[in-house]
Amino acid sequence: MNINKKINIFHKILSADIVEPISFIWTQWRKQKLPLVIFISLCLNLVIAPAVYAVADGVLERRSAWAIGILGFITLALVFYLFFVIFQPERF
């Protein structure tokens, strides 16, 4: 199958409203990493927050479960950052 046919099928499946933002994000991800990281962490929090809420058996509010998920991501990001700063200080 030709690459142009694959692209046309892709454009038929996804509407232009979805394709344009995806292509913009794809072209800009090397220049602006922080907004992309924040967006991805919030998307991953869509999976983590309900799990935290389910484990708490209704003791926590939904807002608290979201906050715990976000704090978990921030803590994990700091751990990775400090790990790289300690073991590769010449890059920083």
Same domain, 5 and 41: no
Render pLDDT for 42-54 as a digit per residue (tens, 0 to 9): 788 888 888 888 8
Task: Count Cα atoms within 13 angstroms, Cβ side, for 25.
Answer: 11
- What phi and psi, each to the nearest 5 degrees, are found at residue 27? -80, -25
Render pLDDT for 4-18 as a digit per residue (tens, 0 to 9): 555 555 556 555 566
Same domain, 42 and 85: yes
Same domain, 50 and 61: yes
Question: Tell me, what's the pLDDT at 49?
Answer: 81
Instruction: Look up the domain containing 68 and give its range.
Output: 33-91
Same domain, 37 and 15: no
Q: Report how many domains make up the chain.
A: 2
Question: Tell me, what's the pLDDT at 3?
Answer: 56
